[in-house]
Amino acid sequence: MIRKSIAVAAVGLLMAGSAFAANEGGTGQPEIIVHRPNPKDAGAGYATAGGTGALSAITYHGGPVMGTPNAYIIWYGNWAQSNGSDTAAGKALVTSFLGGIGNSAYFKINTTYSASGGAPTGAVSLKSSTTDNYSHGTRLSDSAVLAVVSSAITSGRLPKDPAGVYFVLTSSDVSESSGFCNRYCGWHTHGSVSGTDIKYSFVGNANRCLSSCAAQTSSPNGNAGVDGMLSVVAHELEEAVSDPDLNAWYDSAGSENADKCAWTFGQPKSSLPGQVCSGSTCWNQSWGGHNWLVQRNLSASNNRCYLGLNGAQ
Ligand SMILES: [Zn+2]
């Protein structure tokens, strides 16, 4: 069974052209996924495009999906640093991203994940946020991440919302002991808080390990750490929507929708939709007055990776 779906990547090293695993499986503990070196960094001029053919089938296992998720943010650690990444401007990027992703052609790919109780709408509602000033120090365990979410809810700083997806976003001085930066870049799961099934996700600031958890070191918004983490946020959000309780949509290897398209960013183009580059900086989406580089997502209709519903690959 799927446990926790991870967005990625074993630490960087590795030779260009090495084999890759597009899937991060979900059998028990997080698997190590080799994060292919970014072709852009190798001089090719763009982030990994990815293939356009059909992948192995993702299938439905009977559980619920989320219609319109309510997103909540817990800013863990210190997001008021002078490092150019864990900053007020960095927080504003996250807010703009989550505030605008709903009803984008990109997020509407999730509408293909129908379920017995209804399909995702493609909308996302960014609700509210709170802060957590290192309540569990600078090294979080998986259980501490749940404790951070639980505390935010039981203290009343965030509502207890079964339609919510709670993101614990850590500043770059915070590690996650089960493997942030070396086994994964983020994960999502669910757990019980005061008797309610709560969906939540950990995503760390990629500034801690750009070679592992970011596709590029110069980014469309001048903040490679946060721009990198936003692709992981999208990954976990679309998995939380299509497989919130880990019993809905995944393939025979346990991979969820975004797993199957991880670290692929679409074919190079001179304009959107497609992957557009200016110098060494690339992007493939635009909303909220910003450009973003976000991984593709899988259509359940034909098991291919797309940048938008029925759109560019
Ligand atoms: Zn995943």
CATH number at residue 96: 3.40.390
Distance 171 CA to ligand 1 centre (A): 21
User: Is residue 290 in some structural domain?
Assistant: no
What's the angle, vertex CA 237, arms to CA 236 and CA 240, rounded to 5? 85
End-to-end CA gap in the chain: 29
> Token pair 């709670």 is at which residue?
166
Distance 24 CA to ligand 1 centre (A): 7
pLDDT at 259: 93
Whether residue 205 has pLDDT greater than 70 = yes
What does the pLDDT average to over 2-12? 42
User: Is residue 306 in some structural domain?
Assistant: no
The pTM for the full model equals 0.90
The pocket of ion ligand 1, defined by CB under 5 A, consists of: 5, 239, 259
Strands (E) located in the chain: 5-6, 9-10, 33-34, 58-60, 70-76, 125-132, 139-140, 164-170, 175-176, 186-193, 196-204, 249-251, 276-278, 281-283, 285-287, 290-292, 297-298, 305-306
38: pLDDT confidence band, cut at 50, 70 and 90? low
User: Is residue 300 in some structural domain?
Assistant: no
The token pair that represents 117 in the structure block:
């109780």
Distance 262 CA to ligand 1 centre (A): 8
User: Is residue 264 in some structural domain?
Assistant: no
User: Is residue 309 in some structural domain?
Assistant: no
Distance 206 CA to ligand 1 centre (A): 16
User: Is residue 86 in some structural domain?
Assistant: yes
What does the pLDDT average to over 146-173? 98
pLDDT at 45: 74
Whether residue 13 has pLDDT greater than 80 = no
Per the DSSP assignment, residues forming a β-bridge with 199 are 165, 190
What does the pLDDT average to over 68-73? 98
pLDDT digits (tens, 9 = 90+) for 90-142: 999 999 999 999 999 999 999 999 998 899 999 999 999 999 999 999 999 99
Distance 255 CA to ligand 1 centre (A): 7
User: Is residue 284 in some structural domain?
Assistant: no
Q: Which domain holds residue 192?
A: 5-36+61-257
Q: How many domains does the chain have?
A: 1
pLDDT at 44: 57
Q: Are 142 and 45 in contact (CB under 8 A)?
A: no
46: pLDDT confidence band, cut at 50, 70 and 90? confident
32: pLDDT confidence band, cut at 50, 70 and 90? very low
Distance 81 CA to ligand 1 centre (A): 29
Distance 258 CA to ligand 1 centre (A): 6
Q: How far is it, in rounded angstroms, from Cα 237 to Cα 69?
A: 9
Lowest-pLDDT range of 73-87, 204-218, 285-299: 204-218
The token pair that represents 139 in the structure block:
């090294």
Whether residue 31 has pLDDT greater than 70 = no
pLDDT digits (tens, 9 = 90+) for 112-122: 999 988 999 99
User: Is residue 203 in some structural domain?
Assistant: yes
